[in-house]
Amino acid sequence: MLSNLLDIDDWLKKHVFVRNMNQTLDQLFPIVLIGAVSALLQKLFFSREAYLREIFHLKIFPTMYFLQNITDLTLATVALYATVLMAYYTAQNKGAGVVVSMMVFYFLTYQPDEHGVNLAGRAYGMNGLLLGLVCGYFVAQMLNLYGLRKGGGLLFLSAIALNFLAGWLIYNGYVELFFTDVQQRLNNQTNIGGLFIWSQVLLLLTWLGLGHNIVLNYNQFDYQNLHYALQHNGKVRYPVSSYTILNQYANLAGVGAIVALVICVIICSYSKARRRRARLALLPTIFNQTSVAFIALNYFLNPLYLIGGALATSFNILVVYGLLSLNILPVGLYPPLKGAPSLFYAFIANRGAWGILLLVICLLFCDILIYMPFVKVVESREK
């Protein structure tokens, strides 16, 4: 199986799209890092419901709205940067590639409602990363083949046609329904088999750059658990849910326990530059700003990291489900504090039980060990 994965990885790396994509991701890292730090500062200090501000009752930190502007110009528009950079690295006429790719991306993604608000606005953020990369590459290749006059005309006609198609899909609910359906299915799982399958679907979508806006919430089953436990001496009706297993234990600081991958790269990487980027990504990742790690480590479309993430998530799910089934582990009942790092969700859900925090640390350590052979293979092939 490993040899097949390496063959796939070799084939991908030889393709000009993947080579230019990796260059693009390298250039995107500082942009995404700035956005992640800005979002982290808002979450911790500089918003009305900031995490540390609420915990310590800090009154000295004002709300800083310009931080949201920084986030909007970085994380919220990362797909547009990806489009431009991909076109720049691919086009022979770099100036034309950059300008035309921006215009084509705008033509593709602008879907205004009756108030002029862009319904496809999420396509400019991390969820549109794949679209941006493909758009920039395709625009550049069309200009390389047909030139600016003919290629530009074909591109704009194609963009308009696809825009109408996308508008039809959006207004009829098909595009939104897909992501909403995945989120609802995950949030509504009370069966371990379904939870296991849909957690892997979420991992795959995130690996493709499509699942970053899918949020697993403290939902109706978790509220019912809390109310039932208060009335029945701690017993619960739904020991399996997206919150009790995935949010608390499986997706440690992000889908695929990506914080374990960040730590593993810091430990194992031969490259000083990669270790430095992983260290810069560590704190935002711990506080659930996983986009920066996704870009810093070239997680996107890396088959080895996908398998590592799938194994780490599966291991966490099976261990926790086994402990819950044997009544060794209590079901975490209490909702997380807004802005709390997901590494502490289980600790908070169990009212500060230190044994639960120790279990999370042990799972994180095991996830690092699971990722380690995949990281070493990646590093040895890039050394």
CA distances from 360 to 79, 247, 331 (A): 34, 11, 14
- Look at residues 134, 24, 123, 131 and name the one whose alpha carbon lies nearest to residue 76: 123
Percent of the residues in the chain that have a pLDDT greater than 90, as a whole number: 27
Contact 186, 199 (CB under 8 A): yes
- Complete DSSP assignment for 35-73: HHHHHHHHHHTSSTT-HHHHHTT--S----THHHHHHHH
pLDDT, mean of residues 311-335: 91
Distance CA 368, CA 219 (A): 30
pLDDT, mean of residues 38-48: 80
Cβ atoms of 299 and 362 within 8 Å: the answer is: no
Alpha-helix runs per DSSP H in 269-302: 272-286, 291-296
Residue 8 has pLDDT above 70, yes or no: no
Look at residue 51 and tell me whether its pLDDT is greater than 80.
no
Of 173 and 298, the one with more pLDDT: 298
Q: Give the C-alpha distances (Å, rounded to integers) separating 106 from 99, 112, 236, 264, 360.
A: 11, 12, 50, 38, 44
**What average pLDDT does range 46-66 have in this prediction?**
69
Question: Angle, nearest 10°, between helix axes 174-187 and 129-171?
Answer: 100
Instruction: Check residue 332 and report its DSSP letter.
Output: P
Structure confidence at residue 383 (pLDDT) = 61
- Determine the pLDDT at residue 224: 86
> What is the number of other CB atoms lying within 10 angstroms of the CB of residue 232?
10
Please give the Cα distance from 313 to 363 (Å, whole number): 10
Considering only the C-alpha atoms of the chain, give the largest distance between any 2 of them, rounded to a whole number of Å.
Answer: 74
CB 248 within 8 A of CB 163: no
Question: What's the rounded mean pLDDT across residues 54-58?
Answer: 69
Give residue 332's pLDDT: 86
Between 139-148, 163-172, 305-314, the lowest mean confidence (pLDDT) is in 163-172
CA 267 to chain centroid: 22
Q: What is the chain's alpha carbon radius of gyration, rounded to the nearest angstrom?
A: 22
Tokens encoding 67: 């931080």
Q: What is the pLDDT of residues 149-197, one digit of tens each?
A: 888 888 988 888 988 888 887 777 777 767 777 878 888 888 888 889 9
What pLDDT score does 124 carry? Answer: 86
Q: What is the pLDDT of residues 10-20, one digit of tens each?
A: 666 667 888 88
Mean pLDDT value across residues 107-119 = 75
Neighbours of 344 (CB within 10 A): 18
271 close to 12: Cβ distance less than 8 angstroms: no
CB 352 within 8 A of CB 241: no
Closest C-alpha to 241, from 186, 296, 285: 186
Which two structure tokens, joined as six digits, stand for 1? 């199986």
- Mean pLDDT to the nearest integer, 250-258: 85
- Report the alpha-carbon distance of residue 383 to residue 380 in Å, rounded: 5
Q: Considering only CA atoms, which of 35, 9, 128, 46 is closest in space to residue 377? A: 9
Query: Shortest CA distance to 277 belongs to which of 103, 94, 26?
Result: 26
Number of continuous H segments (helices) and E segments (strands) in the chain: 16, 0
> What phi and psi values does residue 124 have, to the nearest 5 degrees?
-85, -15
Distance from C-alpha of 24 to C-alpha of 36, rounded to nearest angstrom: 18
